[in-house]
Chain A
Amino acid sequence: MNNSLLPAAFADLEAHVAEWALPSFDARMQHRAASSMDNIRRFYDAMQPRAEAALAHLENFPLDVLPAAEQRLMHMLYALAQAAMAVEIHGQPKVGHAKLPIAVRVLREPLPV
């Protein structure tokens, strides 16, 4: 039994799994909004250079039945989209005048989740 959290080629990203490979949009969004900019940056700087390779790897699998390690990698990519809101758009962890937790909730996410 292989106990790796991520596919072998992405083992270097495993340290970020527990914090960022969260299984729902709201969990990822709330986590990013409540994180420090340094924290978001650390994840962004690790994940962003690997994103193209991650997409290319995941393209080898059927989208709706990813193996567990690939599913985590997909969630890491989704979390990168969240990190990009802070890094590439706001320049801060969340919308400046928004209160925590963020009031907006996603009841039905894009599929597959």
Chain B
Amino acid sequence: MAADDFIANKWTQLAGLKNGPVSAESYRSPAFYQLERERVFGRSWLIMGRVEEIAKPHSFMVKEIEICEASVLITRDGEGRVQAFHNVCSHRHNLLVSEPQGCSQLIRCPYHGWAYGTDGELRGVPDEKCFVGLDRKTAGLAKIATEVWNGWIFINLERKPSVSLEDFLGDFGSFLANMEYPNADNPIVVEAQLDCNWKVVADAFSESYHIPVIHPETIGTTFASTSNRTGRLMDARFFGPHRFCSMYGNPDYRPHDHQKVEQLAYSQVQTGSTIAAGKVGSMDAFLAHPSVNPTRTKSWSMDVNFVFPNFNLDTGPGGFWTHHFWPTSYHTTRHEVRFYVPKALTVRERFQQEHYLSRVIEVLVEDVSNVARVQRGLESGAKDAMFLQDNEALLRHSVHHVEKWAKSATVQEAMSE
């Protein structure tokens, strides 16, 4: 294909948006951040993780949603049901569980020893006779609305969610439904505390325009080639507040002669891609899903499935990986990444995974080392607006929907066409 074959100039229109400058306010305004707290994160369904993280009965995990000052305890009870609770003791509101995960039938508060089952029921109160009129039935943990969808655990912090998960996902649910998730039980977990608004880092993982420039040596030549030098998108789709794009990959990429360690790492391990850890053969059902590489091109590097507001489900020839962009203030973010890899069975597979991880961490470092500079530029107030091109339509779509949710008094209004 020649370079101009990739010019679409239709993604922005497909997103239902107009070209033209985009306001920078939502990236730097403390007042806007308060609206995001109440109206975006406080009312959206949020992906907290996968069911494989709490596979056994009575296992649990704690996740923080800093922007809402919520500590969330997600349990699997003895019957196998998955449910989220506020991680807050009913007695005097001490945070209940302090470890990131655990497994036990009783969860005991470290302050005065109240004990709860993994179903959230209050099971034990030391010196209960001195609590006059205490009714255990009304003193269990505070439930948070929870839904499990295709193995993803969603919660909604509204006491009574204004929208069902099904309606919230809308056509994006049909687009992603029944995807297989290879190696879902074996994530590599990565975290970075960043000095930028959460949308600055989310944006860095929603376009491939930056790849040849900021990643020239790590992945520049795997994502771009002479036929697509600037990372023009292969496909983009928009589903209410959610979005999708498919990125170009150079099918001719090979390690250079001098890259001896890279060659050795990949020499006896079939991964299906030069930067992947999945095993060829175990990926078939996943790769056959119609929404994985939907244009069915050979020149494919990866797809981004952006679940509003803050979650990326990325797919590539070697499997899937995820990003969470958790705001911790209007200009700081906790960025969590999970790469799902097969369990290494041989020394060579394990060495390949080490090389793979080393490389993807360098790519992440290239991305996240730049975000503080963007934030400083935004906060300098030098400019009122950003110029976005057609292949940055996902960013334009993100700002549009975050602003719409922040402006809307009701979720119905935020989700209206």
Task: Say if A and B assemble together.
Answer: yes
A residues at B contact (CB < 8 Å): 25, 29, 44, 48, 51-52, 55, 58-59, 61, 63, 74, 77-78, 80-85, 87-91, 94-95, 97-99, 102-112
Q: How far is the CB of B74 from chain A (nearest CB, A)?
A: 17
A104–B192 touching, CB < 8 Å: yes
Q: Which residues of A contact B354 (CB under 8 A)?
A: 25, 77-78, 81, 110
B166 on the A face (CB < 8 A):
no
Q: Which residues of B contact A52 (CB under 8 A)?
A: 264
Proximity bits, B341-360, A CB within 8 Å = 1, else 0: 10111111011011101110
Q: How many residues of B contact A (CB 8 A)?
A: 43
A55–B189 touching, CB < 8 Å: no
Partner of A85, one of B192, B362, B369: B362
- In the assembled complex, 16 residue pairs joining A and B whose CB atoms fall closer than 8 Å, in A order, are A51-B264, A59-B346, A81-B265, A84-B259, A84-B358, A89-B218, A89-B362, A90-B218, A97-B370, A98-B366, A104-B361, A106-B361, A109-B357, A110-B341, A110-B344, A110-B350
Q: How far is the CB of A3 from chain B (nearest CB, A)?
A: 24
A108 to B343, CA, bound (A): 13
Within 8 A of A (CB), among B224-275: 256, 258-262, 264-265
Within 8 A of A (CB), among B277-331: 277
B187 on the A face (CB < 8 A):
yes
A94 to B348, CA, bound (A): 25
Q: Which residues of A contact B171 (CB under 8 A)?
A: none
Q: Which residues of B contact A82 (CB under 8 A)?
A: 358
- Residue of chain B at shortest CB distance from A26: B361
A63–B260 touching, CB < 8 Å: no
A103–B347 touching, CB < 8 Å: no
Q: Which residues of B contact A85 (CB under 8 A)?
A: 358-359, 362
Q: Which residues of A contact B258 (CB under 8 A)?
A: 88
Partner of A91, one of B217, B365, B366: B217
A63 to B357, CA, bound (A): 18
A85 to B359, CA, bound (A): 7
Q: A-B pairs with the 7 shortest C-beta distances?
A: A84-B261, A108-B189, A98-B369, A110-B353, A81-B355, A88-B259, A58-B347
